[in-house]
Amino acid sequence: MLFQMSYLNMDKDEDILSHKYATTILLYLLDNGSSKKTDLQQVSTMHTIDKLLPLLENSGLISIEEQRLGRRIYAIQLTDKGKRIAEGLKKAEQAVYSQEDLHALPPNYTDQFKNLSAVTHLNVLDDRIAIRDLNYGGAGHDRIVFVYLKLNGNNIIRLWCEVDKVFDCVHTKYAWSLPDVQAMTQIQYAKGNINRVQK
């Protein structure tokens, strides 16, 4: 199931963080400190690393220092800005998996979600996710259910189902289970645009 995402205020940092493995590299450097370029092959291919390192450096998230000890070696470490963002990403990652903030799937989620599928892209400009509810009510008819992203005055994000008129239903639980919704939440949390998520 593929979602495309766009962000209301996409800046340079969010743009670089949307690259596959960019956040993985930042988290690796946070956990391991200054590392050689070859060390990063534990998290990605050298081709991807060669592509991402200049982007991360230009965004001010990492510094790359060339060291000559017989052969050329590159020492890569987080800048203060990179460390703040990596710590935010780690905190967001932990929040996603913590008991307090986890949007846990119900034990019988496969039964509950079997007739649901995402039919459009998540677009923060219109703040909604369209979900197809297949064979609704067993009558052989499908319906489209819109789930809206709601941000309250305390920067707490919630999902609202327009059909059930609640924040907690099978449609909102399904939306929280989508990888791109989780990824969007982590990025926005790391950037400080939201304080936390809430069912």
Whether 52 and 120 map to the same domain: the answer is no
Whether 68 and 114 map to the same domain: the answer is no
CA 129 – CA 36 distance, rounded (Å): 41
Name the percent of the chain lying above pLDDT 90. Answer: 20
53: domain CATH number is 1.10.10.10
pLDDT tens track for 64-122:
998 877 788 889 999 999 998 888 777 766 655 554 444 455 566 556 566 666 655 55
- Kindly give the pairing relationship between strand 116-118 and strand 128-136: antiparallel
The amino acid at 151: L
The amino acid at 97: Y
Confidence of residue 33 (pLDDT cuts 50, 70, 90): very high
pTM of the model: 0.47
CA 5 – CA 70 distance, rounded (Å): 46
List of long-range contacts for 117-121, beta carbons under 8 Å, 24+ apart = 117/1, 118/1, 118/3, 118/178, 119/144, 121/3, 121/4, 121/5, 121/6
Q: Which residues contact 186 (CB under 8 A, 6 or more apart)?
A: 89, 92, 93, 96
Whether 176 and 122 map to the same domain: the answer is yes
Total number of domains in the chain? 2
How much is the CA Rg of the chain, to the nearest whole Å? 20
Stretch 53-69: mean pLDDT: 90
**Which range marks the domain in which residue 31 is found?**
5-97
- Kindly give the pairing relationship between strand 71-78 and strand 116-118: unpaired
Whether 87 and 147 map to the same domain: the answer is no
**Would you give the DSSP letter of residue 31?**
H
Instruction: Pick the last residue of a domain from 72, 97, 122.
Output: 97
102 is a domain residue:
no
CA 82 – CA 94 distance, rounded (Å): 18
Whether 159 and 183 map to the same domain: the answer is yes
Instruction: Pick the last residue of a domain from 97, 118, 148.
Output: 97
The amino acid at 120: T
Whether 162 and 91 map to the same domain: the answer is no
Residue with tokens 């690796």, as numbered in its chain: 28
Looking at per-residue confidence, does 177 or 53 come out higher?
53
Would you say 131 and 15 are in contact if contact means Cβ atoms under 8 Å apart? no
pLDDT above 90 (res 34): yes
Confidence of residue 153 (pLDDT cuts 50, 70, 90): low
| pLDDT, position 5 | 32
187 is a domain residue:
yes
Instruction: Pick the last residue of a domain from 66, 97, 128.
Output: 97
Would you say 188 and 118 are in contact if contact means Cβ atoms under 8 Å apart? no
| pLDDT, position 138 | 73
* Alpha helices, DSSP H, located in 98-149: 109-113
Would you say 84 and 62 are in contact if contact means Cβ atoms under 8 Å apart? no
| pLDDT, position 12 | 52
